[in-house]
Structure formats: C-alpha cells, structure tokens
Amino acid sequence: MRCNEILAVDVDLLSFKDEHVFERYSSLMIMGGNRIGLVWSFIDINERKRAEDALQESEEKLLTMRFIELVHPDDQVYNKDIVERRSQREPVPRQV
C-alpha cells in the first residue's frame, strides 16, 4: 500500500517543565482521496532555543549600551554599572 500524498497539517512547540522544547509536526496522509492516517514527528530544539535566547540577551545588552552612551557619553562607570544590572535582570534605577 502506497500513500499518494502527505500534507503538512500543523507545527507546534511543546515546552516541558524541565525546560526541554520540541517541535511537533503533524502530517495528514491521504491515499485515493481518503484520509488514512496521521504522522507526528518530534524534533528536539533545545540547542537552537538556547542559542536564540543567548542572541536576544546579547542584542538587548548592546542596545542598552548604545542608549546609555547617547545619554551619558562621558560616564564610563555609570555605563558599566547599568549594563551589569541589565544582564542580571535587575531593574535599572532612574536618575533624578
């Protein structure tokens, strides 16, 4: 028995409590115009997800540094302190 068509139906992200992330692909199998089955494929994307998160964090740090350099161009100590706080996800204090 040979399947005539396989149609990609859906793509989902499955996140588990242990922080593992999988992509799930659901494919509908059709033969002779009739639906004969559904195939699920799972792909472990933990490494890709970690790389994406690291890239986003790096971009946020860079944007923060550029903004601070515009606002306080001569204050290197202030700039370093703000970037370190941002990287630790602490709120940045506002100067009055």
And the tokens for 55?
A: 């890239």
> Rounded to 5 degrees, what are φ and ψ at 38?
-135, 130
Sheet bearing 21-31, strands edge to edge? 5-15, 21-31, 34-44
Q: What is the pLDDT of residues 62-77, one digit of tens each?
A: 888 888 777 776 665 5
Mean per-residue pLDDT over the chain, rounded: 78
Enter the pTM of the model: 0.51
Assess contact for 25 and 38: CB atoms under 8 A.
no
